[in-house]
Amino acid sequence: MTNSIKNLKREEKIELLKMLDEKIKRRRENPLKYATQHIKQQECTDALLVGKLIIALFWGNRTGKTEWAAQTVAKVVLGECPIIEAPAEVWSFCPSFDEQKDTTQQKLLSYIPDHRIKDKISLRKGIWKEIILDNNSKITFKSYEQGREKAQGAGKKLIWFDEEPPKDIWEECFVRQLAGIPLIILLTMTAVKGMTWIYNDIYLDTSNPDIFISQAGWDDNPWLTETQKVVMGRGLSEAALKVRRDGKFTKMVGLVCNWFERDKHLVDIGELPSGDNYFVLDFGFSAPSCGLYIRIDRENNWWIFDGFYRKELTNPDIQLIIREKEVGMGRVMRIGDSAQSSDIKQLNNSGIEIKGIKKVSGTSKENWDEWRARLMKQQGEIQKATNKPKLFISNKLVDINDNGDYFNFLVQEIENLRWEEIKTDIGIEQKPIWGKQPKHAIGCLSYLLAEIYKQPKDEKTADYKQKKHNLRYYPSLGV
């Protein structure tokens, strides 16, 4: 192609550039006209056109589910959908507004020409609350974080849920019917949370003639290369591949950390390899206070070499323990739960600098407990990818339990952390069992993970260099 262009005369090159410019202009003015769909996407379009009211896409990652829904919503608000008359009011739901900014908003704007947008109402910088078109169609962006009340309002013609919604929000939206006009629901999700209420109430509901179920995986997307598939699948467990590659539901059962083996991970730590020292603190009194000393070496290994786990420790007690343990240790970065701000302040005032870490999830699709359970589970996926352990716990990491016996408190928590099915007000949920076992040592690991995977927002801030330094550890976690 390059040689062919070189052989063109100057006038021919100019004409070719004009044609390319015209092509770009036409695509910009009417992007939907040039949009293409693979077979699975076309099947969903056909289901919509024959009158299905709930189009549920249970697809793997990078299969085009969000792309399809964005095309569909754009057709509706532009008046180009033959079964929904414009003007149309549409709700677009995402787990969070930040995710909306990076996914659904960008996809929708790529299919709606700029000249058709009459107004954009901003929620905050870079995030739109509403988009109003020249035909008075309107897209309102909403977040699951807002709760059920924000799913109340006047009737809509179409509602799009991107990723799994809470059941109460889903149910609230079903009463958003306009008189005499059917409500169409689009659900585009990857079943990363396992067999939740969605599986029972929608996926298994084969008797409902209004529901169209679609499943698709990487092989169904003709634009994904084999190299991309290999890269995306690298390090994923069998269960994770079923979900993210194939778009399947999987049941999360048994141990969260089923990768943990005492003969591999519980070791006699002699001389520590060079690296960075961290101290992580989970406050308690009637429940145990837990502190862990962790060194992360240059090969991304975590060495948990010291700590404590005791009830009825006051802040002066904790100060004394920290000072004794850190003699000769060198530089230590200390972090703890920011919810205990007064305790952190006392430690800082005593000369022990400790940074508060907020309990925020790695992705907006998960709460804090789900995220930290997933991070613990993914240690096994990293181990599988590297074919060697990455977490080492000292066999001397012991303290006294309620019976007066010495025990390795971190090992005990890891070996007792399980998935279970819990009946809640919104149906059956699969969750890690946090409430039925101690979680203070795992909590410490969570705080360190939260600090390491917190993406720096401002490269000019003083601690950006340190954050960037931290992020190089375990880069495959939390993705």
Task: Kindly list the domain boundaries of the chain, sorted by start residue.
Answer: 1-34, 35-237, 255-471
Q: What is the pLDDT of residue 168?
A: 86
Which of 160, 185, 180 has its CA nearest to residue 94?
160
Residue with more model confidence, 250 or 227: 227
Q: What is the pLDDT of residue 460?
A: 40
pLDDT tops 50 at residue 470: no
Burial of 248 (0-12, 13-18, 19+ CB in 10 A): middle
Q: What is the mean pLDDT of residues 324-349?
A: 90
pLDDT tops 50 at residue 469: no
User: Could you read off the pLDDT of 292-317 as tens digits, one per residue?
Assistant: 999 999 888 899 999 999 999 999 99
Q: Which two tokens stand for residue 319?
A: 């100060």
Q: What is the pLDDT of residue 459?
A: 40
Q: How confident is the model at residue 245 (pLDDT cuts 50, 70, 90)?
A: very high
Classified as helix, coil or strand, 108 is helix
Q: What is the pLDDT of residue 478?
A: 28
Those residues with Cβ within 8 angstroms of residue 122's Cβ, 6 or more apart along the chain or in another chain? 128, 129
Q: How confident is the model at residue 468 (pLDDT cuts 50, 70, 90)?
A: very low
pLDDT tops 80 at residue 368: no
Q: Residue written as tokens 């039925």? A: 436
Which of 37, 363, 383 has its CA nearest to residue 192?
363
pLDDT tops 60 at residue 38: yes
Alpha-carbon separation of residue 394 from 30, 61, 188, 280, 321 (angstroms) = 63, 38, 45, 16, 18
Which of 80, 61, 121, 123 has its CA nearest to residue 98?
123
pLDDT tops 90 at residue 30: no
Q: Which of 49-53, 84-88, 340-344, 400-404 has the lowest mean pLDDT?
A: 400-404
Judge contact between 305 and 285, C-beta under 8 A: no
Q: What is the pLDDT of residue 13?
A: 66
User: Could you read off the pLDDT of 189-225 as tens digits, one per residue?
Assistant: 998 877 778 888 888 887 889 999 999 999 999 999 9
Q: How confident is the model at residue 361 (pLDDT cuts 50, 70, 90)?
A: low
Angle at 440 between CA 282 and CA 476, to 5 degrees: 90
Q: Please give the Cα distance from 264 to 386 (Å, whole number).
A: 14
pLDDT tops 70 at residue 346: yes
Q: What is the mean pLDDT of residues 335-359?
A: 87
Q: Please give the Cα distance from 430 to 437 (Å, whole number).
A: 16
pLDDT tops 70 at residue 467: no
Q: How confident is the model at residue 187 (pLDDT cuts 50, 70, 90)?
A: very high
Q: Please give the Cα distance from 331 to 83 (Å, whole number).
A: 66
* CB count in 10 Å sphere of residue 208: 13
Judge contact between 212 and 161, C-beta under 8 A: no
Q: How confident is the model at residue 33 (pLDDT cuts 50, 70, 90)?
A: confident
Write out the DSSP string of 395-432: TT--EE-TTS-EE-HHHHHHHH-EEEEEEETTEEEEEE
Q: What is the pLDDT of residue 313?
A: 92
Q: How confident is the model at residue 422 (pLDDT cuts 50, 70, 90)?
A: low
Q: What is the pLDDT of residue 471?
A: 36
Q: Please give the Cα distance from 350 to 285 (Å, whole number).
A: 19
Which of 104, 174, 111 has its CA nearest to residue 364?
104
pLDDT tops 50 at residue 244: yes
With b meaning 16 or more CB within 10 Å and e meaning fewer, what string describes 309-327?
bbeebebeebbebbeebbe
Q: Please give the Cα distance from 183 to 180 (Å, whole number).
A: 10
How many residues does the structure list for the chain?
A: 479
Q: Which of 124-133, 368-377, 422-431 has the lowest mean pLDDT?
A: 422-431
Q: Please give the Cα distance from 332 to 209 (Å, whole number).
A: 61
Q: What is the mean pLDDT of residues 169-191?
A: 82
Classified as helix, coil or strand, 392 is strand
Q: How confident is the model at residue 479 (pLDDT cuts 50, 70, 90)?
A: very low
Average pLDDT, the chain: 81
Residue with more model confidence, 475 or 447: 447
Q: Residue written as tokens 């890690």? A: 432
Q: Do domains 35-237 and 255-471 have the same CATH topology?
A: no
Q: Residue written as tokens 């754009």? A: 74
- Single pTM value for the model: 0.60
Q: Please give the Cα distance from 337 to 328 (Å, whole number).
A: 26
Tell me the CATH architecture of domain 35-237.
Answer: 3-Layer(aba) Sandwich (3.40)
pLDDT tops 60 at residue 136: yes
Q: Which fold has domain 255-471?
A: Nucleotidyltransferase; domain 5 (3.30.420)
Q: Please give the Cα distance from 289 to 311 (Å, whole number).
A: 6
User: Could you read off the pLDDT of 48-83 as tens digits, one per residue?
Assistant: 999 999 999 999 999 999 999 999 999 999 999 999
Q: Please give the Cα distance from 157 to 139 (Å, whole number).
A: 11
Q: Please give the Cα distance from 434 to 156 (Å, whole number).
A: 39
Q: How confident is the model at residue 433 (pLDDT cuts 50, 70, 90)?
A: low
DSSP state, residue 417 = -
Q: What is the pLDDT of residue 107?
A: 92
Please give the distance of CA 15 from its chain centroid, rounded to a whole number.
Answer: 48
pLDDT tops 50 at residue 461: no
pLDDT tops 60 at residue 366: no
Q: Which of 34-38, 69-73, 92-96, 144-148 has the lowest mean pLDDT?
A: 144-148
Q: How confident is the model at residue 138 (pLDDT cuts 50, 70, 90)?
A: very high
